[in-house]
Copies of this chain bind each other. A is one copy, B any other.
Amino acid sequence: MASPNQLKKALKKEGLRYTQQRQSIWDEMCATDEHRDAEEIYLSLRNEGMSVSRATVYRTIDVLVKNNLVRKLELGDGRARYEHKMDLEHHDHLICVQCGKIEEFMDETIEEIQEKIVNNLGFKLIRHIHQLFVICNNCR
Protein backbone atom coordinates (compact mmCIF):
# COMPACT_ATOMS: atom_id res chain seq x y z
CA MET A 1 0.00 0.00 0.00
CA ALA A 2 1.29 3.44 -0.92
CA SER A 3 1.84 5.81 1.93
CA PRO A 4 -0.88 8.44 2.09
CA ASN A 5 1.59 10.95 3.50
CA GLN A 6 3.45 11.53 0.28
CA LEU A 7 0.18 12.07 -1.53
CA LYS A 8 -1.30 14.30 1.15
CA LYS A 9 1.78 16.46 1.13
CA ALA A 10 1.64 16.91 -2.64
CA LEU A 11 -2.06 17.75 -2.56
CA LYS A 12 -1.59 20.25 0.23
CA LYS A 13 1.24 21.92 -1.69
CA GLU A 14 -1.11 22.34 -4.67
CA GLY A 15 -4.02 23.50 -2.51
CA LEU A 16 -6.02 20.41 -3.48
CA ARG A 17 -8.21 18.20 -1.34
CA TYR A 18 -7.36 14.72 -0.20
CA THR A 19 -10.04 12.37 -1.56
CA GLN A 20 -10.79 8.65 -1.69
CA GLN A 21 -10.39 8.61 -5.45
CA ARG A 22 -7.01 10.28 -5.39
CA GLN A 23 -5.75 7.92 -2.72
CA SER A 24 -6.98 4.81 -4.50
CA ILE A 25 -5.49 5.89 -7.83
CA TRP A 26 -2.16 6.50 -6.11
CA ASP A 27 -2.44 3.12 -4.34
CA GLU A 28 -3.22 1.42 -7.61
CA MET A 29 -0.24 3.00 -9.33
CA CYS A 30 2.07 1.90 -6.54
CA ALA A 31 0.65 -1.63 -6.47
CA THR A 32 2.96 -2.87 -9.22
CA ASP A 33 6.17 -1.95 -11.01
CA GLU A 34 4.60 -2.56 -14.39
CA HIS A 35 4.23 0.33 -16.81
CA ARG A 36 0.48 0.63 -17.23
CA ASP A 37 -1.60 3.13 -19.14
CA ALA A 38 -4.50 5.18 -17.81
CA GLU A 39 -7.10 2.76 -19.13
CA GLU A 40 -5.49 -0.20 -17.38
CA ILE A 41 -5.38 1.68 -14.11
CA TYR A 42 -9.00 2.72 -14.56
CA LEU A 43 -10.13 -0.86 -15.27
CA SER A 44 -8.19 -2.27 -12.31
CA LEU A 45 -9.90 0.17 -9.99
CA ARG A 46 -13.32 -0.64 -11.41
CA ASN A 47 -12.64 -4.36 -11.08
CA GLU A 48 -11.82 -3.81 -7.44
CA GLY A 49 -15.21 -2.17 -7.08
CA MET A 50 -13.91 1.39 -6.73
CA SER A 51 -16.19 4.13 -7.92
CA VAL A 52 -14.01 6.23 -10.16
CA SER A 53 -14.23 7.71 -13.63
CA ARG A 54 -11.77 7.92 -16.48
CA ALA A 55 -11.71 11.70 -16.19
CA THR A 56 -10.67 11.46 -12.55
CA VAL A 57 -7.96 8.95 -13.36
CA TYR A 58 -6.48 11.32 -15.96
CA ARG A 59 -6.86 14.34 -13.68
CA THR A 60 -5.24 12.60 -10.75
CA ILE A 61 -2.37 11.24 -12.80
CA ASP A 62 -1.67 14.80 -13.93
CA VAL A 63 -1.40 15.91 -10.33
CA LEU A 64 0.90 13.01 -9.50
CA VAL A 65 3.13 13.68 -12.49
CA LYS A 66 3.30 17.39 -11.73
CA ASN A 67 4.38 16.60 -8.17
CA ASN A 68 6.98 14.09 -9.19
CA LEU A 69 5.27 11.09 -7.60
CA VAL A 70 4.77 9.46 -11.00
CA ARG A 71 6.69 9.49 -14.26
CA LYS A 72 4.98 9.59 -17.63
CA LEU A 73 6.51 7.39 -20.33
CA GLU A 74 5.85 7.88 -24.01
CA LEU A 75 6.98 4.74 -25.76
CA GLY A 76 5.73 5.64 -29.19
CA ASP A 77 2.64 3.44 -29.28
CA GLY A 78 0.21 6.31 -28.90
CA ARG A 79 -0.73 5.92 -25.27
CA ALA A 80 1.17 7.16 -22.27
CA ARG A 81 2.33 4.73 -19.63
CA TYR A 82 3.14 5.53 -16.06
CA GLU A 83 5.49 4.38 -13.34
CA HIS A 84 5.49 5.40 -9.69
CA LYS A 85 8.61 6.90 -8.20
CA MET A 86 8.44 5.23 -4.78
CA ASP A 87 11.91 3.77 -5.25
CA LEU A 88 13.83 6.89 -5.95
CA GLU A 89 16.74 5.91 -8.21
CA HIS A 90 16.57 7.40 -11.68
CA HIS A 91 16.61 5.05 -14.66
CA ASP A 92 15.75 4.88 -18.34
CA HIS A 93 14.15 2.15 -20.41
CA LEU A 94 14.84 -0.65 -22.85
CA ILE A 95 11.79 -1.74 -24.83
CA CYS A 96 11.60 -4.94 -26.87
CA VAL A 97 10.09 -4.09 -30.23
CA GLN A 98 8.77 -7.65 -30.58
CA CYS A 99 7.18 -8.56 -27.24
CA GLY A 100 6.94 -5.11 -25.66
CA LYS A 101 8.80 -6.11 -22.53
CA ILE A 102 10.26 -3.14 -20.69
CA GLU A 103 13.53 -3.25 -18.75
CA GLU A 104 15.37 -0.50 -16.97
CA PHE A 105 18.91 0.78 -17.27
CA MET A 106 21.00 3.54 -15.78
CA ASP A 107 24.46 4.77 -16.65
CA GLU A 108 26.25 7.43 -14.65
CA THR A 109 28.55 8.36 -17.54
CA ILE A 110 25.66 9.02 -19.92
CA GLU A 111 24.01 11.20 -17.31
CA GLU A 112 27.20 13.24 -16.92
CA ILE A 113 27.72 13.65 -20.66
CA GLN A 114 24.15 14.84 -21.04
CA GLU A 115 24.75 17.55 -18.47
CA LYS A 116 27.98 18.55 -20.17
CA ILE A 117 26.34 18.81 -23.61
CA VAL A 118 23.56 21.00 -22.28
CA ASN A 119 25.85 23.20 -20.19
CA ASN A 120 28.24 23.76 -23.09
CA LEU A 121 25.35 25.22 -25.08
CA GLY A 122 24.37 27.49 -22.19
CA PHE A 123 21.10 25.62 -21.74
CA LYS A 124 19.54 24.20 -18.58
CA LEU A 125 18.58 20.51 -18.50
CA ILE A 126 15.02 19.99 -17.32
CA ARG A 127 14.47 16.30 -18.05
CA HIS A 128 15.40 13.72 -20.61
CA ILE A 129 14.00 10.73 -22.46
CA HIS A 130 16.36 7.92 -23.30
CA GLN A 131 14.84 4.77 -24.70
CA LEU A 132 16.63 1.83 -26.29
CA PHE A 133 14.44 -0.18 -28.62
CA VAL A 134 15.80 -3.70 -28.80
CA ILE A 135 15.05 -7.29 -29.60
CA CYS A 136 15.30 -9.06 -26.26
CA ASN A 137 17.01 -12.38 -25.69
CA ASN A 138 13.69 -14.26 -25.60
CA CYS A 139 12.65 -12.87 -28.98
CA ARG A 140 15.94 -13.43 -30.84
Q: List 6 A-B contacts (CB under 8 A).
A: A103-B121, A122-B137, A123-B135, A123-B136, A126-B133, A128-B132
A128 to B95 alpha-carbon distance, docked (Å): 10
Interface: A124 (CB within 8 A): yes
B contact residues around A127 at 8 Å (CB): 133
Name the one of B76, B124, B134 contacting A124, with C-beta atoms under 8 angstroms.
Answer: B134
B contact residues around A94 at 8 Å (CB): 117-118, 121, 123
In the assembly, how many copies of this chain are there?
2
Name the one of B76, B113, B137 contacting A109, with C-beta atoms under 8 angstroms.
Answer: B113
Which A residues, 80 to 110, have Cβ-Cβ distances below 8 Å to chain B? 94, 96-97, 103, 105, 107, 109-110
Query: When the two chains form their complex, are residues A76 and B134 in contact, meaning their CB atoms are under 8 A apart?
Result: no
- Number of residues on chain A facing chain B (CB within 8 A): 32
A76-B74, A109-B109, A121-B103 known; A114-B137 Cβ under 8 A: no
Query: When the two chains form their complex, are residues A130 and B133 in contact, meaning their CB atoms are under 8 A apart?
Result: no
Query: When the two chains form their complex, are residues B130 and A118 in contact, meaning their CB atoms are under 8 A apart?
Result: no
A18 to B7 alpha-carbon distance, docked (Å): 57
Query: When the two chains form their complex, are residues B132 and A125 in contact, meaning their CB atoms are under 8 A apart?
Result: yes
A113 to B132 alpha-carbon distance, docked (Å): 11
Q: Mark contacts of A16-45 with chain B using CB atoms, 8 A cut-off: 1 yes-contact digit, 0 otherwise.
A: 000000000000000000000000000000
